[in-house]
Amino acid sequence: MSKYNVIELKIRDGQLIDFEQKSEAEKNALRNQNAIYVYRGTKSQKIYVGQTKNFEKRHKQHYSGVEEKFLNADFDEVIVGFSREFNRSVLDDVESKLITYFSADKQHKLKTMVDFNHSDVVLNRTRGNNVNDYIGREKVSSEIILPLWENIFYEKGWVENKTIDELRTKELVKYSPVKVLTDEQAKLIDEIVHNPQKNYVINGDAGTGKTVLLTHLVASMLIERKSAKIGVEYSRTGRKQV
């Protein structure tokens, strides 16, 4: 039995043109259930991933005129996913992973270049909310995220990589800010972000989480200071500098 279900809707000029044709149960879900949603423009190929407790209301907010990117993205379809497993932690996790996977999928033409703010295709400006670890996280990945990707997004031609395994080898996914931090890493990032006048040197053996720490740090700094310009230097010896 599937751990999720989806509702597909068509969009024209910001309006959900087939909303009234949905069943009462579907309308109720769109108005009252926790959901993950993905907008797509057939011609523009742009993507936006989000989460909400009321999709109908959230859709109207997106198209209220405040979010210019929605007016220019030419979205013409949206898939809204539901699951009994969806609480706040799960929604944060699924949203963040889908943003990362869609970004990685759309970067196949960029060769070795990794762009952590690939806003020309995936319109999300961040990786979503901070993700906290929770019981059943692996189950959510295997029973919701994986089949959503393979059976819905790939089958409908929304993505080019058939399996998530193909994406996990890309640096964008391996070192994404979606990774859950340890308490020590989280405290260190908070200290660095709020003490910009200080210098820090992070040492550690291979596999201790330095790169994950770095990507989280860059993401956090961009959220705190949206106009900041941050450079990351990477040498052949593996040394990274922010």
Tens digit of pLDDT for each residue in 150-189? 999 999 999 998 888 777 666 555 555 555 567 777 788 8
Tens digit of pLDDT for each residue in 60-73? 999 998 888 888 99
Ranges under pLDDT 70 in the chain: 1, 108-120, 125-130, 168-181, 206-207, 223, 226, 234-242
What is the DSSP annotation of the chain?
Answer: --S-EEEEEEEETTEETTGGGS-HHHHHHHHHS-EEEEEE-TTT--EEEEEES-HHHHHHHHTSSS-HHHHHS---EEEEEE-TT--HHHHHHHHHHHHHHHHHHTTGGGTT---TT-TTTB--SS--SPPPP-TTHHHHIIIIIHHIIIIIIITTTS-S-SSHHHHHTSHHHHT-TTSPPPHHHHHHHHHHHT-TTS-------TTSSHHHHHHHHHHHHHHH-TT-----EE-TT--EE-
pTM for this model (two decimals): 0.72
What pLDDT, on the 0 to 100 scale, is given for residue 240? 47
Average pLDDT of every residue of the chain: 83
